[in-house]
Amino acid sequence: MKAGVKLKILVIKDITKYFGGIGALIQVNMGVEEGMIHGLIGPNGAGKTTLFNLITGTLTPDKGSILFRGNDLVHLRPDQRTFLGICRTYQNIKLFKSMTVLENVMVARHCRVKSYLIQLALNPPFKEVRLEKEIREKAEELLQFVGLFERREFVSSNLPYGEQRRLEIARALATEPSLLLLDEPSSGMNLKEKEKLMDLLRAIRKANVTLVVIEHDMSMMMELADIITVLRFGEKIAEGSPETIQSDSLVIEAYLGGAERENVEGV
């Protein structure tokens, strides 16, 4: 990959986050180039999800800065960051359970809709507001894109696991992100679903959305990612193309070889 040629959409500088005395992330530096699928791997407890929480604003870092298109994000609220164009999915699915599939996607249009209140106030009670129609059509389009259009009237908590993950992606896309963070999008999916997911992610990249993906399925990651960052105990130990990562001795020792040990320790 031609590093440094393309624009960096996200730059993470010296990010440090401690939980109590434990360093979840220690002086991590990372840059995400525009238009890439950027993989983020590491054993359990390496700080991958913490990094996502810091980027989206659920957590604030102890030190360091996060630059999105040159703007420092650290003092912005999560919804403001979403407005700028960062959105995510969650490792433990966080759909709005009582709402239908369609409503889940529609509600995420919130930050892209202007002057809704005025239209609503002037509209007669049983007629659909014009903006409402636009919101619904956009949501239906996105459901078609992820292949859940037929399920649109289902209550979201009744969907099978894999479809819930795809719905989370559709919901995130409804906010029109330019940077999409996916936290283990394939977990709980079978092989066929994973194939479909990979096609979906490539299609999303084609639509000019940069992706950062946390993933435990190594073969999928090697096939999908343009560049991979490896974290271990809150520190970055390697970064590069899938080929270089595969042959990196530190990674093999820490991630592939060390995984069993960590499972035993229950980290």
CB of 4 to other proteins, least distance (A): 31
Nearer to other proteins, 138 or 151 (CB): 138
Please tell me the distance from the alpha carbon of residue 204 to that of residue 249, in angstroms, as a whole number.
Answer: 33
Q: Tally Cβ neighbours within 10 Å of residue 199.
A: 11
90 binds other proteins (CB under 8 A): yes
Q: Which of residues 178-207 bind other proteins (CB under 8 A)?
A: none
Nearest-approach distance from CB 101 to other proteins, in angstroms: 13
Task: For other proteins, give the closer residue by CB, 20 or 126.
Answer: 126
Is 75 one of the binding residues for other proteins (CB under 8 A)? no
Quick check: 74 binds other proteins (CB under 8 A)? no
Contact 237, 230 (CB under 8 A): yes
Q: Taking CB under 8 A as the criterion, which residues in 117-156 touch other proteins?
A: 117, 120-121, 123, 125-126, 129, 131-132, 135
Least separation in angstroms between residue 65's CB and other proteins is 21
Q: 13-23: string of b/e by CB count within 10 Å (b at 16+)?
A: bebbbeeeeeb
Which residues are paired to 68 by β-bridges?
10, 71
Binding residue (CB under 8 A) for other proteins from 33, 46, 50, 103? 103
Residue 129 and residue 169: Cα distance in Å, rounded?
26
> Segment contacting other proteins (CB under 8 A): 95-103, 143-151, 219-227, 253-261?
95-103
Minimum Å gap between C-beta 142 and other proteins is 13
Contact call for residue 58 and other proteins (CB under 8 A): yes
* By CB under 8 A, residue 116 contacts other proteins: yes
| 8 A C-beta contact, residue 186 and residue 215 | yes
DSSP notation for 168-221: HHHHHHTT--SEEEEESTTTT--HHHHHHHHHHHHHHHHTT-EEEEE-S-HHHH
Of the pair 59, 254, the CB lying nearest other proteins is at 59
CA angle 194, 218, 105 (to 5 degrees): 40
Sign of the Cα torsion 254, 219, 52, 20 reads negative
Per the structure block, which two tokens stand in for 31?
A: 């840059």
Residues near other proteins (CB under 8 A): 56, 58, 77-79, 82-83, 87-88, 90, 94-99, 103, 106-113, 116-117, 120-121, 123, 125-126, 129, 131-132, 135, 171-172, 174-175
